[in-house]
Amino acid sequence: MAGKTFAEKILGATVGSIVFRTPDLVLSHDNTSSIEDIFKKMKGEKPAHPESLVVVLDHNAPPTNAKLANDYQQIRKFAARNELKRFHDVGDGICHQLMSEHALPGMLIVGSDSHTCTAGAFNAFATGIDRTETAGIWKNGETWFRVPESLKITLTGMLPEGVYAKDVALYIIGMLGSDGADYLSIEYHGNGIKNLSIA
Q: Is the dihedral of CA 81, 103, 139, 31 positive or negative?
A: positive
Using DSSP's 3-state secondary structure scheme, residue 187 falls into strand
Distances (CA, A) of 80 to 46, 74, 77, 84, 87: 12, 10, 5, 6, 9
Strands 149-154, 18-21: pairing is: unpaired
pLDDT digits (tens, 9 = 90+) for 3-55: 899 999 999 999 999 999 999 999 999 999 999 999 999 999 999 999 999 99
pLDDT confidence bin for 77, thresholds 50/70/90 = very high
148: Cβ contacts below 8 Å, ≥ 6 apart: 7, 15, 183, 184, 185
Long-range contacts of 94-100 (CB under 8 A, 24+ apart): 94/56, 94/58, 95/27, 95/29, 95/54, 95/56, 95/58, 98/54, 98/56, 99/25, 99/27, 99/54, 100/198
Give the count of beta carbons closer than 10 Å to the beta carbon of residue 7.
Answer: 22
28: Cβ contacts below 8 Å, ≥ 6 apart: 35, 53, 54, 55, 56, 111, 112, 113, 134
The pLDDT value recorded for residue 69 is 93
pTM: 0.92
> Which of 127, 146, 187 lies closest to 14 in space, CA to CA?
146
pLDDT confidence bin for 199, thresholds 50/70/90 = low
Type and span of the H or E element at 174? helix 165-176
pLDDT at 103 over 90: yes
Superfamily, domain 6-147: Aconitase, domain 3 (3.30.499.10)
Indicate the domain borders of the chain: 6-147, 148-194
63: Cβ contacts below 8 Å, ≥ 6 apart: 69, 71, 72
The pLDDT value recorded for residue 3 is 87
Distance CA 91, CA 106 (A): 29
Share of the chain above pLDDT 70, in %: 99
Asked if residues 23 and 143 have their Cβ atoms less than 8 Å apart, the reply is: yes
